[in-house]
Amino acid sequence: MVLVHPAGPYDLTLSLKVAGAFSPGPSAAVSALRAPARVQGAAVIVEVRQTQIEPPVLRVSSPQRVGRDRLEALAEWITLAELDLSPFYALCEGHPRLGRVTRLLHGLKHFRPTSVFEMAVIAITEQQISLAAAYRIRERLVRRFGQEVGGVWVFPNPERLSGADPSELASCGLSFRKAEYVSELARSVGDGSLDLDSMKAMGDDEARALIMARRGFGRWSADYILVRGLGRADVVPADDLGVRTVLGRALGAGSRMTAAEVDHALLPFRPYRGLVTFYLLAHDRLSRGGGGASIQ
């Protein structure tokens, strides 16, 4: 067991509630995170509970044997522990819409997938289909090629997916072209010709260029990986229809914005344009009862 002290404010229970709202079907109220991960090839569960709100303290443990340093690093990565929300809240405080939203969602952060590879596969699955459909495809993919540990499924490693024929991947619900994208990505990561973890140390433009050089990754996918997978607070997938719709209602005239209008509307919120977008999407989802959740 280790203690993690994330930059505050942080509310794990609220963050779990919002994560559940973006998942299909009703979501049960939970106060602890159980994240499946791989440590040196072994499947483990990272369990995170919040023991103190201010300043925030997280208690991290695992039923499996995991070194303290590795356990701490995984928990910090997943929970976006390095992100200080205080300057973001100060920027939004005087805004008639965002001031209220940030007060309602005080302490909210999203969860990063445990690996950039997993996030890249997530991006492929969510291209041009609904979140619910992509979730079902990933669930079938993970159950077929992943590994069960303690009642949860660990995402398959690149070697496992690269060894699968694209037709096997397509049987999980992927289009054959997407199956090829996943297979090619897994093969490149598995043989070492592509180091996705190197994106963590890159600037936004460099990281975006690295992933967009691969077949199957356009601007939307790259920005999605940066903001959700790497936690880049100023990146926005402005081509996303959901983003354009919600921002049009919240910051525009009420109708769906164009990508250019999204970029213009978010200019005053640099360097937190991605956070603004996430908070507005989360507020919209909770307000509409997404995943069975609602704002209390």
The pLDDT tens digits of the residues spanning 213-258 come to 999 999 999 999 999 999 999 999 999 999 999 999 999 999 999 9
Q: 235 lies in a domain? A: no
Residues 53, 129 within the same domain: no
pLDDT tens string 166-181: 999 999 999 999 999 9
**191 CA to centre of own chain:** 25
User: What pTM was computed for the model?
Assistant: 0.94
Residues 90, 183 within the same domain: no
Residues 201, 128 within the same domain: yes
Supply the DSSP symbol for 190.
H
Count of domains in the chain?
Answer: 2
Strands (E), 128-211: 147-149, 152-154
Q: 135 lies in a domain? A: yes
Q: Region 113-142: what's the mean pLDDT? A: 96
Q: How confident is the model at residue 119, as a pLDDT? A: 98
pLDDT at residue 295 is higher than 70 = no
Domain of 168, CATH number, reads: 1.10.340.30
Q: Determine the structural domain holding residue 200 and report its residue range.
A: 116-229
Q: Region 186-201: what's the mean pLDDT? A: 97
What tokens appear for 233 in the block? 């607070």
What tokens appear for 197 in the block? 């973890």
CB-CB contact of 155 with 142 (8 Å): yes
Q: What is the DSSP string of 95-124?
A: STTHHHHHHHTTT--PPPPSSHHHHHHHHH
- Crossing angle of helices 176-190/116-125, nearest 10°? 170
